[in-house]
């Protein structure tokens, strides 16, 4: 490779990732526009992921994987398990150095074992340059000391999902943009027998509304320097609001896991919840006339803005990473590249009806976001979302606190009256100290 060409490659990667990407340059010298990895002879891969929430996701994901096998000869065995089991099985594979080659899991799982994850810095630089750059949250979740330990595969946009006719019957034309108006809406819905319902059990995704409410009041689990900050007057204000909001919920939300609010909404028990597009997907694709009619009535909106004065949403996030114990690192990197290229990625988004929202900015132009106006708010989520551990650093401590449901449990305890807000905040502080030991 000539010096001129080498400098060109370094500039291309550096524009996407900075000096950390340049230092990881592969000696093959491939340009960002034509990066490919040659799979090892006889390569076979095993991928662990969670079971689908929408059928279109799984169908398109499997079809893309089959296409990869046809093009490369590399077979990919996909094992789909329950959402709650992915963390445990991924951690076990990292611990013993055996098991699946790759995992499609939750945002900061690789942060629990970064030294066990394959370096994909060069690949992240290539994709970022080609597709308009990664959102900020992607780099936070997927890098350690400037090194990419996984790829941001998709963002699972959570929104206020509601029945438009029932909101109007309650005297509102849209979801209020302030906390006072939102609480008033929920009280009216409860009085009319069409209550809201927000998960307060150990739901992997659906309890993210608790982080929204905490941050909306200017509170957080830790501060910018990773110092525990949850036991504050701002946290108490957020918990007091939750105490007022909780009585407007349908009964049973303290034990709700991720599927429960979907079932409650689709059965007509609730008129408003916090969820991805999966509720709308089921109604829209159903052959049941009642669900088809419900689909026409479903709308999506973003959460209200709290005293902090800006959006504070937390959305789902799916990371794809490869363990160092794989025998076929090139095959794994090539599979990761293939699945994020436009030819595979945009049809996957379309098949999932936007359940898989983009992590690369170029995919904001996917026609899925404007073909159905009900889906347009989903597109905005990647640019709005904060991250577990905000405003501190993503790492093992933030990942462990998220996995331990510290924030969600604090809100469940205070909202339901199991504890006073003061006691709930103090317990959350104590639990967080187990992970933020400094």
| Pair (418, 298) in one structural domain | yes
Does residue 381 belong to any structural domain of this protein? no
What is the tally of structural domains in the chain? 2
Q: What is the pLDDT of residues 331-353, one digit of tens each?
A: 999 999 999 999 999 999 999 99
| Pair (11, 150) in one structural domain | yes
Q: Which of 105-109, 197-201, 207-211, 278-282 has the lowest mean pLDDT?
A: 105-109
- pLDDT for the residue 27: 33
pTM equals 0.89
Indicate the SS3 state at residue 327.
coil
Does residue 368 belong to any structural domain of this protein? no
Does residue 145 belong to any structural domain of this protein? yes
**300 contacts 226 by C-beta, under 8 angstroms:** no
| Pair (197, 144) in one structural domain | no
Q: CATH number, domain at 297? A: 3.40.190.10
The two three-digit tokens of residue 298, written as one number:
């479903």
| Pair (164, 288) in one structural domain | yes
The 10 Å CB-count burial string (b at 16+, else e) for 380-401 is: bbbebbbbbbbebebbebbbbb
Instruction: Classify 103 in phi/psi space as left (phi over 0), alpha (psi -120 to 50) or beta.
Output: beta
| Pair (163, 306) in one structural domain | yes
| Pair (139, 273) in one structural domain | no
| Pair (233, 103) in one structural domain | no
Which domain does 188 fall in, by range? 159-314+404-433
Q: What is the DSSP string of 104-171?
A: EE-TTGGGGSGGGBPP-HHHHHHHHHHTT-B-HHHHHHHEETTEE-SEEEEEE--EEEEEHHHHHHTT
The two three-digit tokens of residue 205, written as one number:
């995704």
Number of H helices, E strands in the chain: 21, 10
Tokens 């007057």 correspond to 233
Q: Which of 204, 177, 195 is nearest to 276 (CA)?
A: 204
Q: Among the three residues 358, 383, 418, which one is the final residue of a domain in this structure?
A: 358
| Pair (115, 182) in one structural domain | no
Establish whether the linkage from the previous residue to 391 is cis, with ω within 30° of 0.
yes
Which pLDDT band holds residue 228 (cuts at 50, 70, 90)?
Answer: very high
Which pLDDT band holds residue 53 (cuts at 50, 70, 90)?
Answer: confident
Q: What is the pLDDT of residues 366-376, one digit of tens each?
A: 999 999 999 99
- pLDDT for the residue 24: 35
Phi, psi angle pair for 406, to nearest 5°: -65, -45
| Pair (22, 123) in one structural domain | yes
Tokens 């849209």 correspond to 174
């Amino acid at each position: 490779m000539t010096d001129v060409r080498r400098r060109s490659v370094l500039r291309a990667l550096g524009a996407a990732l900075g000096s950390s990407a340049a230092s990881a340059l592969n000696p093959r010298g491939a340009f960002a526009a034509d990066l490919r990895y040659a799979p090892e002879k006889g390569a076979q891969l095993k991928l662990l992921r969670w079971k689908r929430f929408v059928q279109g996701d799984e169908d398109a994901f499997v079809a893309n994987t089959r296409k990869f096998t046809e093009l490369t000869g590399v077979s990919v065995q996909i094992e789909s398990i329950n959402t709650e089991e992915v963390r445990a099985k991924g951690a076990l594979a990292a611990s013993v150095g055996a098991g699946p080659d790759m995992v499609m899991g939750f945002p900061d799982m690789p942060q629990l074992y970064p030294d066990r994850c394959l370096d994909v810095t060069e690949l992240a630089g290539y994709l970022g340059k080609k597709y308009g750059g990664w959102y900020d949250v992607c780099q936070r979740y997927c890098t350690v000391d400037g090194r990419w330990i996984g790829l941001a595969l998709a963002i699972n946009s959570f929104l206020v999902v509601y029945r438009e006719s029932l909101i109007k019957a309650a005297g509102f034309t849209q979801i209020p943009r302030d906390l006072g108006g939102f609480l008033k809406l929920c009280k009216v819905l409860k009085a009319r027998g069409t209550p809201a319902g927000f998960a307060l059990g150990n739901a992997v995704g659906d309890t993210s509304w608790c982080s929204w409410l905490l941050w909306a009041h200017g509170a957080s689990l830790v501060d910018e320097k990773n110092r525990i900050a949850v036991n504050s007057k701002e946290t108490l204000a957020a918990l007091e609001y939750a105490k007022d909001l909780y009585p407007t919920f349908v009964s049973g939300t303290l034990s709700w896991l991720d599927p429960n609010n979907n079932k409650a909404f689709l059965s007509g028990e609730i008129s408003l919840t916090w969820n991805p597009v999966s509720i709308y997907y089921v109604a829209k694709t159903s052959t049941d006339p009642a669900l088809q009619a419900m689909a026409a009535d479903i709308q999506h909106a973003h959460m209200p803005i709290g005293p902090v004065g800006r959006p504070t949403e937390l959305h789902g996030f799916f990371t794809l990473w490869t363990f160092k114990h794989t025998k076929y690192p090139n095959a794994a990197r090539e599979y990761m590249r293939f699945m994020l290229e436009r030819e595979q990625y945009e049809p996957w988004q379309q098949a999932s009806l936007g359940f898989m929202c983009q992590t690369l900015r170029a995919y904001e132009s996917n026609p899925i976001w404007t073909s159905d106006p009900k889906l347009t708010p989903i597109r905005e989520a990647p640019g709005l979302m904060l991250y577990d551990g905000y405003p501190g650093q993503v790492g093992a401590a933030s990942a462990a606190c998220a996995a331990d449901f510290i924030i969600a449990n604090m809100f469940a305890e205070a909202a339901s009256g199991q504890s006073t807000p003061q006691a709930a905040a103090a317990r959350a502080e104590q639990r967080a100290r187990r992970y933020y030991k400094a």
